[in-house]
Each structure stands twice: as structure tokens, then as C-alpha cells.
Amino acid sequence: MVAPPLSSTSPAGWFVTLYPGAGEVGGSFRYSVPVQRSPGGGDPARSREEAARRAARKVRRYCAHNRLNRLGTLTYRGAGCHDPYRLRRDVAEFFRRLRDLLGGTPFAYVWVAEWHKTDHGLHVHFAVGRFIPRGLIERAWGHGFVHIKQLSRRSGSTVRDEARIAARYLAKYVRKGFDARRIPGLHRYELAQGFQPEAIRLHGRTFEDVMGQAAEAMGAEPAEVWTSEEALGWQGPPAVWAMWP
């Protein structure tokens, strides 16, 4: 992929963000003259879809960075819970109790709420990156039923690969949260603060330059690379995304 020539004073070039702990990099080429975007910025459906994609990317990076490879579910007994505010209070208390039961040391987690297909209200999907006895989870929750499992490791896969699988499951529920039942102001997902992935900004005159910088920082070439040249009908500036195992 070849970028247009730059002048010595032009701000144009490839600008990408590397997340070393998450093992991924992404960004695009910025022109010295602003690129005209296609109309549609005021389309609510398009705005919701873009917000969903941003949320899914953040969940993926957070899971991969913190190696969150164990998926759990929290459900309510009886008639269930139909109050999103109560759910958030209960889940916040759950993670406070769980942290105390584990000795008080903070740990990374992310959770997403989902509406039952039946009329049972809400339940919660969450991911953690450490072994936690089921009995402790049940004590911390106390509102119904719990389930947790470690994602099975395939031959040649890494813990980060497992965490990416967990992130895909959670991202599916994040996207489902962008519907008519969502209450404005309530987040689609929540995560433990203090565990956000490190972000390194890289700039290069050419695609090869900036990807070379990323590979040098990671100590290896990426295992997978996607460019906007592969996307039929791509309307934005040239873009790239790559990942490491």
C-alpha cells in the first residue's frame, strides 16, 4: 500500500495506535487536505452501529490485554430482574464482594448485560483472567445462579487467543445492547478501572514505515494484517489493522 508523497511541512502520513498488551495495531492514513466524507453522519442507525463497533473494539483490547479467558454468567432466581438500575447496583456489589473474598486485591474484569429471550428479564455475562472457585462466585452473587468456564485451548493457541474468543462473545452482547430498550446514559458494558491497555502512537510517511515500527516494538511481524484495500466499496482514507498471537 503506497501513500501519496509528503512535503516537509505536511501533517499527512500514516497514524496508527499500537496496543502491545492486546497484541494489535490499527489506524489510517491522514491527508494534508481533509478528505470529504460521504453523507450520513446524522443517520441514527449508522451512529448506533459505529458506537457498537467502537465499544466492541474496546472490549476486545481490554480482554486481550488482561488475558480474560474465563467466561461467566449471573442470573436471577424467580421472576428475574427487569430493572437495569438494580442490575448495575447488584453487579457492582457482586464484584466488590468477590474482590473481598479473594483477599482484597483488585483484578481485571468486564461484564455485559443481556435481556433474556423469554420474559425473565436481565442476566449478566462477564470475563475474568484467573481461576475463581465457583463457590466464591455463588457467595458473592447471592441472587440466583452462576456459571463459569475456562475457554478450551486449541493446539498452538495462546491465553491471549482465548481472551479474544471471550471478547467476541461479549462483543456480541454489547452489540445487542444497542436497541430500543437501552436507557440513555447507561453504559453497554462495565469494566474494572486501572487495567486499560497501554496505547502507543506511531506515525510514518509510508505504510511500510509505520508497520515496520509496530513490528519492531512487538519483536515480530504480525500474524494477521487487514487493509482497507480488501474492503469492497471502502469510502474512508486507507486504513490498516493487524494483530499478534
Same domain, 170 and 75: yes
| 181 lies in some domain | yes
Containing domain of residue 145, as a range? 66-191
Confidence (pTM): 0.86
Pick from 125, 124, 131: which is nearest to 107 by CA? 131
Residue 2 lies in a domain: no
**In this structure, is residue 3 part of a structural domain?**
no
Q: Are 94 and 140 in contact (CB under 8 A)?
A: yes
Over the chain (245 residues), the average pLDDT of each successive run of 10 is 49 93 96 58 72 89 97 93 93 97 97 84 95 96 94 80 94 72 73 96 95 97 95 91 95
Residue 8 lies in a domain: no
Locate cell 420474559: which residue? Answer: 119
> Are 180 and 156 found together in one domain?
yes
Is residue 170 located within the same domain as residue 100? yes
Q: Which of 143, 162, 155, 188 is nearest to 23 (CA)?
A: 162
User: What local confidence, expressed as pLDDT, does residue 35 receive?
Assistant: 52
Together in a domain, 71 and 165: yes
For the CA atoms of 72, 73, 77, 82, what is the dihedral angle to 10 degrees? 150
Strand order in the sheet with 24-30: 200-204, 13-19, 24-30, 239-243, 224-227
Contact 27, 239 (CB under 8 A): yes
Q: What's the CATH number where 98 sits?
A: 3.30.70
Q: What angle do CA 22, 24, 25 make, to 5 degrees?
A: 135
Distances (CA, A) of 172 to 57, 116, 162, 182: 11, 14, 16, 15
Burial of 64 (0-12, 13-18, 19+ CB in 10 A): buried
Domains in the chain, number = 2
- CA 203, chain centre distance (Å): 24
